[in-house]
Amino acid sequence: MKLYTFLISGLILGLSSGCHGTEHDHDSEKEHSEQEHKADSNLVEMTHEAAKSAGITTETVAASDFNESVKAAGFIENSRGGERIVSAPASGIVSFSSGIVAGQAVKAGHPLFSISSKGLEQSDATATIHVDVEAARTAYERAAQLIKDNLITRPEYDRLRADYDRAKAAAATVAAKTARAVGVSAPMTGFLVDVSVAPGAFVNMGDPLATVATDRRLLLRAEVSERHRNFARSVSGANIRVPGQELSVSLASLAPKILSSAPTASANSNFFPVYIEFDNPGGLSNGSVVEVWLAGNTRHGVISVPNSALVEEGGYFYVYVKQPDEHELFRKTEVKTGSTDGMRTEIISGLSEGETVVTQGALRIRMAGMGSSIQGHTHHH
């Protein structure tokens, strides 16, 4: 009986020890797993709220078409044919309407200037009109005498009478303008790119007062190096960026039109211009200086990421890859880059199709990793 009791006690003790060992092993595996995550400095975890606040967006990596590109300096100009010169309709002193300055947006019919001739001596143009009236009157009166004796034909008489009527009408118009201030309005909707006169200045009829340009279409002038002469013949479009601003524009969606890509360099320069006309997307105006990536031939099956996805550290480039089955866990991944078209950059190695890469918010993830990366945090499964 004592032997039976002893055997039962031993069996219970053994089972207890076995269960304890299993529980210990499970805890060790869990702790080891968490320590692995904590030791991986390339992993960054963010809360859902922090990721949302950072504006993080992603895209799935996939090979696609990619254009060969050449970088150039660029300048934005007004589209050719999109400018109108506002001329003085009469001679006199110029007054400005309220707020008229270069760069101001105007609508068709918007008052720009007024011109007053009151108290001024006759201008050359006015004097010429009066001379024309007198000459036409003399010719008409002489014709009226000659027609009586059939010394001139009826058509010739009618022509001289019409000339006199036109001269009188022109003189009457000038007289009316001289008697009062003449308003000058914008001939079309656009913006004032130039104001040629100062308030209080005297102008003659026909003198330029201002230039109005439409801002619907703009012109890109890209200065291309002579060494890219052959590339210029294949230009199909461009991407542009305004230095110092978060503004990058692809002309592909702006109805681009290649006006000239003939590689004819200036005698005093090793650069030649390429002109591309496009719809104004907003944020660009005449005189803007831009960086340009001219698009050439297309390559197929290229993996690329938006430039905003890349983070540079010590001359190396990284992206953040969202981990599968993890809500807000990102791995910092080194990549080898190739060429760029100004909007996207070719990835030669480091990314595979199907991975999910961060396209916006990479710098925010980097900052989060510097302050509260996986090292020292508690990772919850």
CATH of the domain at 54: 2.40.420.20
Query: How far is it, in rounded angstroms, from Cα 364 to Cα 19?
Result: 46
Q: What is the pLDDT of residue 27?
A: 52
Tokens linked to 22: 């299993």
CATH of the domain at 250: 2.40.30.170
Over residues 119-150, the pLDDT tens digits come to 555 555 666 777 888 898 899 899 888 988 88
Residue 118 counted as domain residue = yes
Across the range 146-168, mean pLDDT stands at: 90
Whether 373 has a pLDDT exceeding 50, the answer reads: no
Between 214 and 165, the more confident residue is 165
Residue 11 counted as domain residue = no
Let me know: does 316 contact 351? Beta carbons within 8 Å.
no
- DSSP characters over 14-56: HHHHHHHHHHHHHHHHHHHHHHHHHH-TTEEE--HHHHHHTT-
| Together in a domain, 359 and 332 | yes
Task: Give the domain extent around 316.
Answer: 40-63+303-372
CATH of the domain at 127: 2.40.50.100
Q: What is the pLDDT of residue 244?
A: 84
Whether 185 has a pLDDT exceeding 80, the answer reads: yes
User: Under DSSP, is residue 167 helix (H, G, I), strand (E, B) or coil?
Assistant: helix
Over residues 285-305, the pLDDT tens digits come to 788 999 999 999 999 999 999
* Percent of the chain at pLDDT exceeding 70: 80
Whether 108 has a pLDDT exceeding 50, the answer reads: yes
Q: Is the pTM here over 0.85, yes or no?
A: no
Task: Please give the DSSP secondary-structure letter assigned to residue 374.
Answer: S
| Together in a domain, 122 and 203 | yes
Whether 179 has a pLDDT exceeding 60, the answer reads: no
| Together in a domain, 123 and 209 | yes
